[in-house]
Structure 1
Amino acid sequence: MNQPYIIKKGDMALQPCHLAIGQYEGTRVLRYKEDEDVIKERTHKIIDRSCRFYGSSYVFKKEDTIRITGISSKPPILFTPLFPTYFFPTHSDRKTQNTWINIHYVQSIRSLKDKKCRVNFVDNQSIIVSISAHSMHHQYLNGIYYYYMMDRAARVATFDPESPIDYTKPQLNIYEALAKYSLFESK
């Protein structure tokens, strides 16, 4: 039996796709240096389940972003600070064509005709999304801003604002990780 899909390290994008059972009923998952997968489940359901898996509901993760950044329209979310999972949406979360993209894997954004754009990833995979390159850049920058605000706050909380948290170390400093989680507590 297949386990329900949870976003994990290496996930670059989740894009709704058509299945035989209906429009936008599946999700195309692009993973770093791996073949893409098609999950027989709506994208928003995967996003919500992944949020819960990492400790909070989608609504609370969205509210945390709004509180920390002030971004209230199509806010990016962080699934877990333990590895790069800063995802930004391309559309409102009420739209079935909403694609979620991980900021850490975006190589470039190219404009196409008919208000579409191509997002190229660092491993040479790409997706085409039905929004303008300008809007995609804006959403991407919102994701980067959220990443910056979280990183800056965590550095201040660890009393070493000059030294960013190094997630590539063989052993993660649990204090650094907890400092990022503490940012989600109600103020």
Structure 2
Amino acid sequence: MKQKQIEEYEINPCTMFIKPFVYGSKVYSQIFELDDEFISPFKPIEIVRKSCEYFGSSFDGRREGTRQLIGITHKVPIVVDPTNFIYLFPTTSPNRPECIWISHEHVMHHERTSVGDTLVTFQNKHSYPLPVSYSSFKNQLLRTALLRTKLMQRIEQMERKSYYVVHRPRPLEASEQHRRYGQFME
């Protein structure tokens, strides 16, 4: 795959992971999609922030939403776009330049390769060694799964409530002629 340079990028359903790429004294992003790779002049955290805004929220709002739903405050998984199942998790603190953002949806398998590395296989059957410990990777994967589950439960609960409002039973009315108590109306 040949890497293309791009100026603008929004995280989308094909995004597998975004990792920092040092070029001279600047940190760029290397973006891996199912069938493509790109280089962006923005840091991974900047792409995640812009993508959250593209889908109608701020990064801080998404982070606070995760805290409210599952109580996690450090290395927080982010819901970029729940309607397209775009959930990302960081390999380290998002403020650190070496942080890689991984799409939960595309992780197929992971295995320990050495003390500080994990070999991750994605949906496109490509595997990449990532500089994150196996236990940390597994923990981030589980946290993101919990976030997805909690958010989907809330969405489904709201859908059930909406269905009930639209399809609630109608009050029954008598089919006989109207009568006043004790007398017939003609």
Same fold (TM over 0.5): yes
Structure 1 residues 22 and 128, CA gap change in structure 2 (3 angstroms): farther
CA contact (8 A) 2:49 2:59 kept: yes
* Mapped partners of 2:25, 2:42: distance in 1: 11
Q: CA deviation at 1:22?
A: 2.7
User: Which runs of no fewer than 5 residues in structure 2 stay unpaired?
Assistant: 1-5, 162-186
Give secondary structure in 1 for the equivalent of 2:84: coil
Give secondary structure in 1 for the equivalent of 2:28: strand
Q: Which residue of 2 aligns with 1:29?
A: 31
Q: Which residue of 2 aligns with 1:16?
A: 20
Q: How does 1:73-92 map to 2 (within 5 A)?
A: 73-92=74-93
Whose Rg is larger?
A: 2
Q: Which residue of 2 aligns with 1:116?
A: 117
- The residue identity in structure 2 corresponding to 1:22 is S
CA contact (8 A) 2:20 2:97 kept: yes
Give secondary structure in 1 for the equivalent of 2:118: strand
Number of paired residues? Answer: 157
Give secondary structure in 2 for the equivalent of 1:95: coil
Identity of aligned residues (%): 22
1:6-25 CA deviation, whole Å, 9 max, x = no partner?
A: 11121111111122x236x1
* Mapped partners of 2:38, 2:154: distance in 1: 35
* Mapped partners of 1:5, 1:142: distance in 2: 26
1:95-135 CA deviation, whole Å, 9 max, x = no partner?
A: 11111111111011111224111111011223322221111
* Mapped partners of 2:53, 2:155: distance in 1: 22
* Mapped partners of 2:120, 2:39: distance in 1: 18
Give secondary structure in 2 for the equivalent of 1:82: helix
Q: Which residue of 1 aligns with 2:44?
A: 43
Give secondary structure in 1 for the equivalent of 2:65: helix
Question: Which TM-score applies when normalising by structure 1?
Answer: 0.79
Give secondary structure in 1 for the equivalent of 2:29: strand
- The residue identity in structure 2 corresponding to 1:28 is Q
* Mapped partners of 1:12, 1:76: distance in 2: 15
* Mapped partners of 1:96, 1:56: distance in 2: 23
Q: CA deviation at 1:3?
A: 4.7
Name the structure with the higher strand share. Answer: 2
CA contact (8 A) 2:7 2:40 kept: no
* Mapped partners of 2:19, 2:139: distance in 1: 18
- Tell me if 1:136 matches 2:137: yes
User: Which runs of no fewer than 5 residues in structure 1 stay unpaired?
Assistant: 161-187
1:160-186 CA deviation, whole Å, 9 max, x = no partner?
A: 7xxxxxxxxxxxxxxxxxxxxxxxxxx
Question: Which TM-score applies when normalising by structure 2?
Answer: 0.79
Aligned-residue CA RMSD in angstroms?
1.7
* Mapped partners of 1:127, 1:41: distance in 2: 22
CA contact (8 A) 2:7 2:41 kept: no
